[in-house]
């Protein structure tokens, strides 16, 4: 009897364990692994309804990437002659003085008068060809009297500045050696994805061959580093730490390929750095080898199309580059373009935004003929322009957003141009229109960006030379939500632009 009781107890215990195990498995969402010859249950859900899972992937071997890349990364030292009336340049040109500036020695003559001195600054570069071509940033060597490149730990070579391009902040150097130099392969920056691993290599604060790792944080950034670069900024953003001295070094992907040239940091944030895409350098290297980069030029000022302009102009989408103004005598003017045209294609390349047009035109040499497809008054038209040469100081800067409105409707006071108002606002005698003498702080005009001193030359494409004609054209707008103003803004750098002003909500 006692033995039978024990057997029953063990049996009950076993059953309890099985039941508990089934409950536990269900609560933890454990699934059974089916064998190849097991019949599938008839109640199994369809494969399409199964939740998608992100495939797990192991981290790349950063040590292996560094081992392969490091031999081709070089240190650059440039020497400038600083005269008493010059500021120290340094590699931090874009972001002001280094915090160590107050502690640098000040060499003076015994009389206390400042004298010329040599200033050394540093940066990074990398070898792209075995015969000694080195790619770096223009601001690393800008103004340098002498440039030296250190390969490995001890080999120092005098470098020749072959070519440089301030607009993209790129420079090509050449060193001579008695053997082939190690090189880094160039990747494809157009194919990079936000979130993928990258490695920055350089000499931050003179700590040579420092490696930092992060991801691609963003693409197509335009942080407006300087007037020289603002028209061509299309940078990669990364959180791989970049510091002073990293400039010109490679940004490398997990395959060990260069996808960017480390260029700048934001001093207002932590780990926000920027790199020039390597494909930009690829296109320019042949011209850099020739000593100078020349770009095609249309002679237009362009702006983006926002939702208000789309509605005001009756555009099918916000794709395209809006022509704000056309320089007289320039290729676009000769081809027949005018303000308020919307360029939607150049040759066979779609123009989705300003960047597409700038990149395409600037990639062509002067004298190249391009076919421009544009919208005018709701109709698609084409014109052929022969590109001119873009001035080194840069294409006309894209205008800042502008604003407009009438006192009763849009919050402005307008007056006819007089000799007194021309003198007051520095408006040239050739400019016709009505001048804004007041813009309400809270108004549709202020929202659009208009300000006192702006001259409205056209309303909805029609010239306005007097207050009467200005009001008449506004009246013709009827129940329209927006009016288009063609505006001249006087100043040291006069600009013309198109703006959409809201007439009613």
Of 159, 102, 125, 336, the residue nearest 246 (C-alpha): 125
pLDDT tier, 351 (very low <50, low <70, confident <90, very high otherwise): very high
Of 502, 504, 471, 484, the residue nearest 376 (C-alpha): 484
**Per-residue pLDDT for 35 more than 50?**
no
What pLDDT does 379 receive?
94
CB-count exposure of residue 475 (10 Å: 0-12, 13-18, 19+): exposed
SS (H, E, C) 165-208: ECCCCEEEEECCCCCCCCCCCECCHHHCCCCCEEEEEECHHHCC
143 in Cβ contact with 152 (< 8 Å): no
Domain residue spans of the chain: 65-101+115-174, 189-290, 296-389, 407-502
pLDDT tier, 11 (very low <50, low <70, confident <90, very high otherwise): very low
What pLDDT does 450 receive?
94
What's the pLDDT tens digit per position in 475-489? 888 788 899 999 999
**Per-residue pLDDT for 422 more than 70?**
yes
Phi–psi pair at 453, nearest 5 degrees: 100, -15
402 in Cβ contact with 487 (< 8 Å): yes
Q: How far apart are CA 41 and CA 108, in angstroms?
A: 91
Any catalytic annotation for residue 438?
no
Sequence-ordered alpha helix ranges (H) in 342-418: 354-362, 407-410
**Per-residue pLDDT for 249 more than 50?**
yes
Active-site choice (142, 169, 239, 454): 169
Residues sharing a CB contact under 8 Å with residue 392, sequence separation 6 or more, in sequence order: 166, 167
What's 385's DSSP letter?
A: E
Q: Average the pLDDT over 17-37 and give the result.
A: 39
Q: Regarding predicted confidence, which is higher, 28 or 422? A: 422
Q: Concatenated DSSP letters for 91-155?
A: TTGGG---TTGGGS---B-TTS-B--EEEEEEEEEEEEETTTEEEE-HHHHTT-SEEEEEETTTE
What pLDDT does 10 receive?
46
Between CA 472 and CA 480, with CA 478 as vertex, the angle to 5 degrees is 120
What pLDDT does 237 receive?
93
- Report which listed range, 8-22, 116-130, 361-375, 464-478, is most confident: 361-375
- Residue-averaged pLDDT of the chain: 80
pTM over 0.75: no
Residue appearing with tokens 């494809």: 188
Q: How far apart are CA 304 and CA 319, in angstroms?
A: 9
53: Cα separation from own chain's centroid: 34
Structure tokens at 299: 């002679």
**Per-residue pLDDT for 95 more than 70?**
no
Q: Average the pLDDT over 382-410 and give the result.
A: 60
What pLDDT does 105 receive?
39
Residues sharing a CB contact under 8 Å with residue 5, sequence separation 6 or more, in sequence order: none
**Per-residue pLDDT for 406 more than 60?**
no
pLDDT tier, 36 (very low <50, low <70, confident <90, very high otherwise): very low
Of 330, 306, 274, the residue nearest 448 (C-alpha): 306
Cα distances (Å, whole numbers) of residue 169 to 293, 357, 503 = 12, 20, 44
The conformational region for residue 75 under phi > 0 = left, psi -120 to 50 = alpha, else beta, is: beta
What pLDDT does 117 receive?
66
CATH number of 296-389: 2.30.42.10
Any catalytic annotation for residue 325?
no
Q: Average the pLDDT over 230-245 and give the result.
A: 85
Q: Regarding predicted confidence, which is higher, 44 or 172? A: 172
Q: Does 296-389 match 65-101+115-174 at the fold level?
A: no
470 in Cβ contact with 464 (< 8 Å): yes
**Per-residue pLDDT for 7 more than 50?**
no
What pLDDT does 113 receive?
55
**Per-residue pLDDT for 233 more than 50?**
yes
Residues sharing a CB contact under 8 Å with residue 253, sequence separation 6 or more, in sequence order: 187, 192, 196, 197, 198, 199, 259
Bridge partners (DSSP) of residue 500 are 484
pLDDT tier, 419 (very low <50, low <70, confident <90, very high otherwise): confident
Q: Average the pLDDT over 307-328 and give the result.
A: 92
What pLDDT does 115 receive?
57
229 in Cβ contact with 275 (< 8 Å): no
CATH of 189-290, one of 2.40.37.10, 2.40.10.10, 2.60.40.420, 3.30.930.10: 2.40.10.10
Classify domain 407-502 at the CATH topology level.
Answer: Pdz3 Domain (2.30.42)
pLDDT tier, 317 (very low <50, low <70, confident <90, very high otherwise): very high
Q: Regarding predicted confidence, which is higher, 365 or 44? A: 365
**Count of Cβ atoms closer than 10 Å to residue 25 Cβ:** 12
Residues sharing a CB contact under 8 Å with residue 178, sequence separation 6 or more, in sequence order: none
What's the pLDDT tens digit per position in 190-206? 999 999 999 999 988 77
Bridge partners (DSSP) of residue 252 are 199, 258
What's the pLDDT tens digit per position in 50-92? 444 455 557 788 999 999 999 999 999 988 766 655 544 433 3
206 in Cβ contact with 194 (< 8 Å): no
Q: Average the pLDDT over 28-52 and give the result.
A: 39
% of the chain at pLDDT higher than 90: 46
**Per-residue pLDDT for 48 more than 90?**
no
**Count of Cβ atoms closer than 10 Å to residue 219 Cβ:** 15
What pLDDT does 257 receive?
96
**Per-residue pLDDT for 320 more than 80?**
yes
What's the pLDDT tens digit per position in 423-475? 889 999 899 999 998 898 888 999 999 999 999 999 999 999 888 889 888 88
What pLDDT does 57 receive?
58
Of 413, 403, 438, the residue nearest 309 (C-alpha): 403
The region of weakest confidence among 82-86, 233-237, 361-365, 487-491 is 82-86
301 in Cβ contact with 396 (< 8 Å): yes
User: Is 293 strand, coil or helix?
Assistant: coil
The region of weakest confidence among 24-33, 140-149, 310-319, 414-423 is 24-33
Q: Regarding predicted confidence, which is higher, 339 or 9? A: 339
What's the pLDDT tens digit per position in 494-505? 999 999 999 876
Q: Average the pLDDT over 103-109 and give the result.
A: 39
Active-site choice (78, 80, 121, 139): 139
Phi–psi pair at 116, nearest 5 degrees: -60, 145
What's 294's DSSP letter?
A: -
Residues sharing a CB contact under 8 Å with residue 254, sequence separation 6 or more, in sequence order: 60, 65, 196, 197, 198
CATH number of 65-101+115-174: 2.40.10.10
Active-site choice (75, 78, 217, 247): 247
**Per-residue pLDDT for 47 more than 60?**
no
Phi–psi pair at 394, nearest 5 degrees: 115, 150
Any catalytic annotation for residue 247?
yes
């Amino acid at each position: 009897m006692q033995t039978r009781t024990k057997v029953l107890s063990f049996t009950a215990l076993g059953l309890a364990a099985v039941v508990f195990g089934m409950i536990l498995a269900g609560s933890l969402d454990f699934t059974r692994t089916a064998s190849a010859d097991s019949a599938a249950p008839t109640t199994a859900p369809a494969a399409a309804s199964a939740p998608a899972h992100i495939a797990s992937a192991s981290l790349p071997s950063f040590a292996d990437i560094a081992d392969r890349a490091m031999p081709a990364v070089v240190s650059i030292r440039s020497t400038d002659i600083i005269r008493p009336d010059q500021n120290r340049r340094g590699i931090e040109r874009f972001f002001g003085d280094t915090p160590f500036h107050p502690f640098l020695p000040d060499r003076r003559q015994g009389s206390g008068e400042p004298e010329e001195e040599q200033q050394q600054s540093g940066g990074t570069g990398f070898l792209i060809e075995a015969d000694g071509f080195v790619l770096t940033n223009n601001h690393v060597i800008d103004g340098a009297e002498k440039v030296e490149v250190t390969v490995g730990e001890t080999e120092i070579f005098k470098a020749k500045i072959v070519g440089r391009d301030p607009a993209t902040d790129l420079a090509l150097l050449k060193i001579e050696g008695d053997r082939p130099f190690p090189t880094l392969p160039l990747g494809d920056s157009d194919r990079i994805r936000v979130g993928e691993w990258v490695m920055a290599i350089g000499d931050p604060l003179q700590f040579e061959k420092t490696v930092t790792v992060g991801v691609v944080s963003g693409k197509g950034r335009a942080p407006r580093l300087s007037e020289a670069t603002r028209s061509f900024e299309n940078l990669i953003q990364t959180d791989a730490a970049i510091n002073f001295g990293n400039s010109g070094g490679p940004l490398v992907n997990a395959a060990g390929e260069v996808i960017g040239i480390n260029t700048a940091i934001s001093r207002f944030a932590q780990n926000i750095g920027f790199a020039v895409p390597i494909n930009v350098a690829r296109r320019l290297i042949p011209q850099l080898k020739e000593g100078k980069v020349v770009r095609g030029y249309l002679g237009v000022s362009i702006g983006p199309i926002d939702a208000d302009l789309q509605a005001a102009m009756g555009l099918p989408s916000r794709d395209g580059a809006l022509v704000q103004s056309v320089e007289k005598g320039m290729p676009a003017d000769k081809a027949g373009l005018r303000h308020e045209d919307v360029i939607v294609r150049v040759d066979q390349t779609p123009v989705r935004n300003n960047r597409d047009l700038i990149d395409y035109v600037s990639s062509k040499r002067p004298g190249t003929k391009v076919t421009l497809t544009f919208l005018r008054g709701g109709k698609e038209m084409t014109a052929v322009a022969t590109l001119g040469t873009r001035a080194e100081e840069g294409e006309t800067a894209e205008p800042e957003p502008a604003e407009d409105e009438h006192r009763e409707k849009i919050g402005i006071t307008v007056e006819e141009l007089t000799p007194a108002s021309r003198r007051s606002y520095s408006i040239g005698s050739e400019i016709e229109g009505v001048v804004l003498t007041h813009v309400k702080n809270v108004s549709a005009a202020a929202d659009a960006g208009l300000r006192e001193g702006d001259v409205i030359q056209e309303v909805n494409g029609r010239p306005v030379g007097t207050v009467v004609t200005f009001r008449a054209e506004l009246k013709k707008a009827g129940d329209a939500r927006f009016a288009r103003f063609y505006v001249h803004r006087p100043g040291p750098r006069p600009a013309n632009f198109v703006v959409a002003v809201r007439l009613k909500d």
